[in-house]
Chain A
Amino acid sequence: LAKTTQPISMDSYEGQEVNITCSHNNIATNDYITWYQQFPSQGPRFIIQGYKTKVTNEVASLFIPADRKSSTLSLPRVSLSDTAVYYCLVGDMEYSSASKIIFGSGTRLSIRP
């Protein structure tokens, strides 16, 4: 199982860029890296997914170095509404991957005015 390690919590201020790094030293060749955001009492929401290099969408960017042993989720110009728990997941591309994906405790991001 590809286990991930991420900071338990982070604090930042509105308008700042926030980078959350996730370590996944035993990532396998077929594994994708996926980030989810979760607000209290809601289901996790898909943010971004990547395999290597850099991926960007309207919400965030994901940076993956060549060795793929870590990844960094970048949230540009955060607002109070970005306060949430962020999960880094690693899993393979086959439909049978769900049981191998471990959410962990995530990173609790707090944004202050």
Chain B
Amino acid sequence: DAGVTQSPTHLIKTRGQQVTLRCSPKSGHDTVSWYQQALGQGPQFIFQYYEEEERQRGNFPDRFSGHQFPNYSSELNVNALLLGDSALYLCASSLVGGQGETQYFGPGTRLLVL
């Protein structure tokens, strides 16, 4: 039973560039959430996708956008990168209607913006 997978594991970009991160949910899950985790802090919720639509959004600017595909996998896009976007980006999957909405996290993508 494959867990949540993310790609790439590491990424280096320069200010102003655009980046796309990818996530495949745990088998049987239909909902994907994205989090940003700065060094030494807890994960912060970016947004959540269900049925290929963004259903919830945290306090992040429009530079952060996403997509969910029919197979439930998801992408996170960040435009006009800033130095402050350097962080670990986590993808979590869950199943709508699952008890307590337990989320399972992937290993993350470490993004460094220079």
A42 near B107 (CB under 8 angstroms)?
yes
Chain B residues bordering chain A, tally (CB within 8 A):
34
CB contacts (< 8 Å) of A103 on chain B: these are 35, 42-44
User: Is A45 an interface residue, CB under 8 A from the partner?
Assistant: yes
B102 near A99 (CB under 8 angstroms)?
no
With A98-B48, A99-B45, A105-B42 in contact, do A43 and B107 touch (Cβ < 8 Å)?
Answer: yes
- Which of B31, B44, B48 counts the most A-chain CB atoms under 10 A from its CB? B48
Closest chain A residue, CB of each to CB of B106: A43
Interface residues on A, range: 20 to 34
Chain B, residues 70-107, CB within 8 Å of chain A (1/0): the string is 00000000000000000010111010110111111111
What's the minimum C-beta distance from A10 to chain B, rounded to whole angstroms? 16
- Which of B33, B43, B55 counts the most A-chain CB atoms under 10 A from its CB? B43
B50 near A95 (CB under 8 angstroms)?
yes
| Cα-based distance from A75 to B103 in the complex (angstroms) | 21
CB contacts (< 8 Å) of B56 on chain A: these are 96, 98-99
What's the minimum C-beta distance from A108 to chain B, rounded to whole angstroms? 10
